[in-house]
A and B are shown apart, each in its own frame.
Chain A
């Protein structure tokens, strides 16, 4: 040492450096242990699914025999649920957040709303399932028996029942309610992080409040909002309980709206109109069903294969979230 420090200080310094190193190691251990657990889980799943997860599994509908079971209708069901959920919860969730952050005066009522939105985020998903069952599937039991209605629009006709029953629309609305609190909270957070200087600059140029929100605040908040929406929706799409409560089936051997490929949509877009009113099954439901099969040993492999498909789907979603975030960040360039 070229410079002198007193002995006491030197001793304490040694201890401080030691504590620093110990803490770093501790964090490392904690991180790696969770990563390891995840890796073991994935490894086990892959091992179990090996030989079962193949193209046939992806292109078959479900079946009561293990070696003939497939995920096709579940994949389509989950994708439609995801789209519908996002489609429903984005306008409502972002609208609520905009109102709470940009318009609402801080009074008793808005405080209650804020508080309860946060509370709703903690409500178990089964409860949303019961709500969805009562309101959407059964319409509070107002109808004696389901009535069938048909609407004709030239080329296409939409057929639906009232009450809705366990159709994709019921599932989508239920999952939208489930994701709503998280979407609202994430959007509020994103709106709040937009710098005030941006709003002020807009107001100073004679912009109305709405013009400021639409042209400046929302674009700046989009990455945050999109991330929140995708995380909430991918969370919701992995949910089993609400769909079980709604009464969605597992043995379904057709795709919603009889749409079997993207080509089908291009060829006859009219089919899209029937998707929301069709029965469905979803990946988590299929997995739940397989786990409960009597032929447990063989169906364990099927379930593992199904879980990997579901994980793949969610991974894809998260990839999309990252892409959107980066894309908008680049466009905004603070």
Chain B
């Protein structure tokens, strides 16, 4: 059942398809890019909510500075897998992980790993945007402040930089003191991305970041992801096949807690190895 490829040393990732409306086309778009070193390597990883096993023996490698999409039917364990990458599952009572999850070759479940420092390195954006009931400025400044940054000028610069990165600056620059709750859904989601960027993470985990947004806001988020992957490793869960096809280099298909197949996105969508993947993508399943 779990006929997954062994963890790779390096992954060949082609230039991803260009999202509509983006002017940033890579020079060699479509051709093979240099091999990317792995960021995350999970081997023989299983996950349990108490007695309920949610993930079975996951072997998977996520390359650096690329977008990896996780797809699969509802309840198959995509979110669980994503949350195990920054140990957000630790918060849930009675959860257990077996196997290895390596970040840059280091086991993140080792006893000497500090989850606080780990989560600073790995930003996360949730499906439902969760701005803090504070001002827009304070939302973005939260990460650096709790990390101990006290210099006002540094924080001001950082907030501006992150809001620009998240393509939100122009809309909010005149009302940074206003409550973040007054923003629209799409703006809130970009604010959450800006907030995650403010801790200067290496990885961004996104759990269906655009599922509650209209097409225009979704397109903006996708553009944003396309920009961000120059500098960040991005893992994104999505139910939107077109979205996965548009923005990701690699796609992993999960089903019933198992990783069925992972591969180059174009390959997965045009010529999957597994029958299940094909059924799911063509809509005959899930």
Interface set of A (CB-CB < 8 Å, partner B): 106, 197-208, 211, 215-216, 219-220, 331-334
Contacts and interface: CB of A to CB of B under 8 A. Distances in A.
A215 B143 CA distance: 11
A207 to B, nearest CB: 5
Nearest to A208: B116
A203 B132 CA distance: 12
Given A204-B119, A205-B199, A197 B130 contact: yes
B88 interface: yes
Nearest to A331: B133
Given A200-B126, A203-B91, A204-B88, A211 B133 contact: no
A211 B142 CA distance: 10
Q: Which 10 A-B pairs have the closest CB atoms?
A: A206-B120, A204-B124, A201-B130, A332-B133, A205-B143, A206-B119, A197-B130, A333-B181, A207-B146, A333-B179
Interface in B44-76: none
B91 A200 contact: yes
B88 A203 contact: yes
A331 B182 CA distance: 12
A302 B194 CA distance: 65
Contacts of A332: 133
A195 to B, nearest CB: 8
Nearest to A106: B93
Interface string B110-147: 00000011111001101010101100000000110011
B119 A203 contact: yes
Given A203-B91, A205-B120, A197 B133 contact: no
Contacts of A216: 132
B146 A205 contact: yes
A198 B132 contact: yes
A206 B133 contact: no
Contacts of B199: 205-206
Nearest to B124: A204
B124 to A, nearest CB: 4
B86 interface: yes
Contacts of A334: 133, 181
B68 to A, nearest CB: 19
Nearest to B118: A206
20 contacts: A197-B128, A197-B130, A198-B132, A199-B91, A200-B126, A201-B126, A202-B142, A204-B119, A205-B119, A205-B146, A205-B196, A205-B199, A206-B119, A208-B116, A215-B146, A216-B132, A219-B133, A220-B133, A331-B133, A334-B181
Contacts of B128: 197
Interface of B: 86, 88, 91, 93, 116-120, 123-124, 126, 128, 130, 132-133, 142-143, 146-147, 179, 181-182, 192, 195-196, 199
Given A200-B88, A215-B146, A207 B130 contact: no
A216 B145 CA distance: 13
Contacts of B133: 198, 219-220, 331-334
B117 A206 contact: yes
A211 B116 CA distance: 11
A205 B130 contact: no
Contacts of B86: 204
Nearest to B86: A204
A208 B117 CA distance: 9
Nearest to A105: B93
Given A200-B88, A334-B133, A205 B142 contact: yes
B90 to A, nearest CB: 9
A199 B90 CA distance: 13
Given A204-B88, A206-B143, 13 more contacts: A106-B93, A197-B126, A198-B132, A200-B126, A201-B126, A203-B88, A203-B119, A204-B196, A205-B123, A205-B199, A207-B116, A219-B133, A333-B181
Nearest to A201: B130
B142 A215 contact: yes
Nearest to B178: A333
A76 to B, nearest CB: 39
Contact of A204 (B123, B147, B179, B181): B123
B146 to A, nearest CB: 5
Contacts of A202: 132, 142
Given A333-B181, A334-B133, A206 B146 contact: yes
Contacts of A207: 116, 142, 146
A204 B206 CA distance: 12
For A199, A200, A202, A206, the residue with the greatest tally of chain B CB atoms inside 10 Å of its CB is A206
A211 B86 CA distance: 18
B130 A206 contact: no
A106 B119 CA distance: 26
Nearest to A329: B133
B81 to A, nearest CB: 16
